[in-house]
Each structure stands twice: as C-alpha cells, then as structure tokens.
Structure 1
Amino acid sequence: MIDHLKFGASNYAESKAFFLQALEPLGVEAGAEGDPSYGIELCGSNDASLCLYQATETPAPLHIAFVAETRQQVDAFYRAALEAGGKDNGAPGLRPNYHATYYAAFVIGPDGHNIEAVCHEAEA
C-alpha cells in the first residue's frame, strides 16, 4: 500500500546518523540522497522506503514501526538505537496485549518520534 513515507527532522545530520545506525540491524541502508532539504531515502528489504529531510519547523512526534525478521534483530535494533542516542521507551520483549507472539522494542529518536522494531514470529 505505501511506496514511501517522508518526514522532517529538526537536525538532519543527527537524525540521519541515528536512523542509519539504529536500523542497520534490520537491513536498512541509505538510498538516494540530495541536499538536506531533499533528504535521504532509507531502504530495506521490502518495497517501501522511509525518506528523511531537514524540516523548517518542529515536526510532530510519530510512531514508526519497522519489521524485524527475528527477535534477535529486535534486540540488535534496541542496542544500536540506544548507542545512537535514542532513549529507552520499552525494552525488547513480548507484548501479549497486542498478540501472543508480538515481540518488540521501542526507543525515542532525536525528534521525539517513537521508533519500534517488531517481530511477529514465534521464537525459533
């Protein structure tokens, strides 16, 4: 359904570094990039991409959930996101209130966005 999602950052360089480091364990890489007002495309293994650009106004916080193929990727995302400067918003673990195998971790990114990695698969 979604081809790409573009959102602004109050500090493009900081947000770019954060997302590249935090999402690397999920297989996300830098795609096309222009000047900060154009931004950068962050690409994963599926067809959709996330585009980040320098905003001229403070963006409203978003909740963005990224697919992890394994629970180990969720754990690695969480560690990488914290190392990249993210703030803990929920350590890796099961969230049975969503469904029995919902394994996720949450961090707050540079602009206050709630960034999640989630694996829906049962533990291998």
Structure 2
Amino acid sequence: MLSHVTLGTSDIERAKGFYDAVLAVLDLACQFDEREHGWLGYAAGPESVPQFWIGRPIDGQAPSVGNGVTVAFVAPSRAVVDTFHHAALAAGARDEGAPGLRPHYHADYYGAYIRDLDGHKICCVCHAPA
C-alpha cells in the first residue's frame, strides 16, 4: 500500500546513528546513504518497499513534528517490540509508552512508542497472539 514514509531531521549524522541502531532490531538497514544531499533511506533491501526515509526538509525550513502523526513499524514478535523499545531508549529516544498490550486497538495489539531525536512519534507493534 505504501511506497515510503519520510520524516524530517535537523541533524542527518545524528539521525543515521540513531536509526542504524534502532532499525537493525527489525532487520532494516540503510539502503540509500545520500548524506551529501541530506537523505537516508531504510528498508529490508535495496528494492524493498515500503521504505523509511529521513532527511532535511526540501523547503529548507526546520523539520517539524505533526500533531497526530505516528509512524509504526511491524515486529514479528512481542520480544522484538521489547528490544526495539530498549534499543531506542539506549540510543537517546524519549519514552512515549512502554511495551505492552493495548486492547483498545485489538486484543493482540502489543506495541511500544518512542519519540526519536527530532521528536517524531515512532511505534513498534506486533499484532500476533502471544
């Protein structure tokens, strides 16, 4: 359904260190390193979609965080959600919701929420039963 998601950053080098560490938990890696142009693209492989991009805003303005915007990565297990959350906090993220069930979404929704180094809300979720 999606081709890609892009979030803005004020510091591409800092964002690379953060997302290299955090997305590795989900077997996602930087497939497109265009730091000289202010962009990084993460995916499962160079031809994989969807892709997750981080970059300096094209309009030259400061990046901003959207109210009500959350980017959610799917995890194959609840243990991976836990590992994602721990890795994100260790890399400097702010906690926005510890790993756990959120039955108000559905009975098996197990997610964790963080704010990345630029303040974007990121979720990691497993939809599978325990």
Length-normalised TM-score, structure 2: 0.87
Establish whether residue 49 from structure 1 lines up as the match of residue 56 from structure 2: no
Query: Secondary structure at the residue paired with 2:37?
Result: coil
Partners of 1:23 and 1:95 in 2: CA distance: 22
Q: Is the Cα contact below 8 Å between 2:109 and 2:126 reproduced in 1?
A: yes
Task: Please say if 1:58 is aligned against 2:62.
Answer: yes
Q: In 1, distance between residues paired with 2:103 and 2:15?
A: 31
Structure 2 unaligned segments of length 5 or more: list them: none
Contact 1:36 1:54 in 2 (8 A): no
Tell me what 2:23 maps to: 23
What value does the CA root-mean-square deviation take over the aligned residues?
Answer: 1.5
The C-alpha deviation readout for 1:49-79, integer Å capped at 9, x for no partner, is 0111123322221411001010011000001
Deviations 1:101-124 (A, max 9, x none): 00000111111111110000000x
Q: Please tell me the residue identity of whatever aligns with 2:12.
A: Y
What is the identity percentage for the equivalent residue pairs of Structure 1 and Structure 2?
Answer: 35
Q: Across the two proteins, how many residue pairs are aligned to each other?
A: 123
Matched, 1:121 2:128: yes
Q: List structure 1 runs of 4+ shifted beyond 3 angstroms.
A: none
Q: Secondary structure at the match of 2:35?
A: coil
TM-score (ref. length: structure 1): 0.91
- Asked whether the equivalents of residues 4 and 51 of structure 1 are also in contact (C-alpha less than 8 Å), the reply is yes
Match of 1:82 among 80, 85, 89: 89
Alignment-derived partner of residue 112 in structure 1:
119
